[in-house]
Amino acid sequence: MASYRGLGVQVRPQRQQRPAGVALLAIVGVLGSLLGLLVALAGLWMVMRVSLAPSRQFGMYSTAAVVALIAMWINWGFWEMVKSSWWANLGLMIVGSGLSLWGLRMVPELGDLIGRLVPALSANRNLAAMALLLGVLVYHLCAIVYTLMMHAAFKVGVKDERPLWEKVHRN
């Protein structure tokens, strides 16, 4: 009696290749979120050293900490190439570019802060502040354009050709 042996084809789910630009944007986003969280926690610590009573500054720093955690969560999803994080990250970048534009009206105040933090830049503090804000704005605008071009990698607006039984419980 001949033994019967199947072909033994193993079906492994293929991981989608992450584009290098998506990885770069996700890493910069997570690091920026960590920096924002660190600044918010330092601000909370400074406010709480003075008084434990609720104040406007306490609320602002608490809100900044929560926003930084949400941004970190969105950027982590962008790293994992979750479809909904594409939209959320696009929204974050649009808000970031809007805040950069809004920050351009605060160049003297930011320049004074830069002059105090980095005394070597005190002579050109307003120029440094303007360059910083314009650099952040250009980064956000380039990231928006790249994210819009990468919609197919996240399967946003792309018709899913898989049969119905393969679509169940998979993204």
Q: Per the structure, how many domains does the chain have?
A: 2
Q: Residue 7 has what pLDDT?
A: 62
Distances (CA, A) of 60 to 36, 65, 124: 13, 9, 30
Q: What angle do CA 57, 124, 35 make, to 5 degrees?
A: 40
Same domain assignment for residues 52 and 101:
no
At which of 50, 80, 110 does a domain end?
A: 80
Report residue 51's pLDDT band, with 50, 70 and 90 as the boundaries: confident
At which of 34, 49, 80 does a domain end?
A: 80
Judge whether 75 lies within some domain: yes
* 152-161: average pLDDT: 72
Range of the domain at 31: 20-80
Q: Residue 131 has what pLDDT?
A: 93
Q: Residue 70 has what pLDDT?
A: 96
Tell me: pLDDT of 32 over 60: yes
Tell me: pLDDT of 106 over 60: yes
Chain segment 124-144, per-residue pLDDT in tens:
888 988 999 999 999 999 999
Tell me: pLDDT of 20 over 70: yes
Same domain assignment for residues 76 and 87:
no
Tell me: pLDDT of 169 over 60: no
Same domain assignment for residues 42 and 104:
no
Q: Which H, E and C letters describe 1-30, residue by residue?
A: CCCCCCCCCCCCCCCCCCCHHHHHHHHHHH
Q: Residue 13 has what pLDDT?
A: 62
- What global pTM score does this model have? 0.75
